């Protein structure tokens, strides 16, 4: 219930679109079913094209966890789980099994059509980018993934030394970052990087008891 009450994204001063994953498709090829009565269909059926902010405002989040097989929830799953790519166009995000991959031309189109200047998203960490050699690294806490005439797309990651609870040789030892947006020029971000603070060594501990031992 709490999740369903939270916004999917934010638009700051009509210039900056902020989302967990990124861009989203126009769900109209599967139009006709709404809400909990939505018909199930294979995600991505038909030609993929970008959705509009109007469609996003009326999107269904579907309660506990959006389902990309339900037509009315396609926008929410894309907003949450999509990733940028360097090649042009839109494609299904086969690696994740949910959401889209969107190219710099799609970022440019979305910014231009909605009169925006920047997209900020935060879905990927440095560990994910280790397996995406076509994309910039996130070891510094952020990357500018797309830049075009209308603006740019930025990925920000705010967890240093990720994953924090893994053994040292399994961590990426990355810096983290956050973005400061200052009025009136909110589309000119200031990146603030920071490192992890030393943490005490704690061993994981679990205890199991039979019911009559409590």
- Read off the pLDDT of residues 66-123 as tens digits, 9 standing for 90 and up: 788 887 789 999 999 999 999 999 999 999 999 999 999 999 999 999 999 999 999 8
pLDDT confidence of residue 41 = 41
pTM higher than 0.85, yes or no?
A: no
Convert the pLDDT of each residue in 25-81 to its tens digit: 998 854 433 433 334 344 445 689 999 999 999 887 766 677 888 877 899 999 999
**Torsion sign, CA atoms 144, 146, 148, 154:** negative
> In 10 A of CB 145, how many CB atoms?
23
pLDDT confidence of residue 213 = 59
Dihedral of the CA atoms 58, 155, 193, 134 (nearest 10)? 170
* 3-state secondary structure (DSSP) of residue 186: coil
What is the chain's mean pLDDT, rounded? 86
């Amino acid at each position: 219930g709490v999740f369903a009450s939270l916004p999917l994204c934010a638009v700051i001063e009509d210039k900056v679109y902020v989302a967990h994953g990124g861009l989203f498709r126009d769900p109209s090829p599967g139009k006709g079913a709404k809400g909990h009565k939505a018909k199930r269909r294979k995600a991505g059926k038909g030609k993929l094209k970008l959705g509009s902010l109007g469609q996003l405002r009326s999107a269904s989040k579907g309660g506990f966890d959006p389902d990309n097989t339900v037509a009315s929830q396609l926008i929410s799953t894309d907003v949450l789980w999509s990733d940028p790519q360097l090649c042009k166009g839109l494609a299904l995000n086969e690696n994740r099994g949910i959401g889209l991959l969107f190219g710099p031309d799609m970022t440019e189109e979305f910014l231009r059509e909605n009169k925006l200047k920047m997209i900020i998203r935060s879905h990927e960490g440095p560990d994910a980018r280790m397996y995406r050699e076509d994309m910039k690294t996130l070891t510094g806490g952020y990357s500018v993934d797309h830049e075009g005439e209308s603006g740019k797309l930025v990925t920000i990651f705010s967890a240093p030394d990720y994953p924090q609870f893994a053994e040292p040789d399994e961590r990426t030892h990355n810096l983290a970052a956050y973005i400061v947006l200052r009025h009136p020029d909110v589309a000119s971000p200031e990146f603030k990087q920071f490192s992890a603070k030393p943490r005490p060594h704690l061993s994981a501990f679990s205890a199991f008891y039979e019911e009559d031992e409590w």
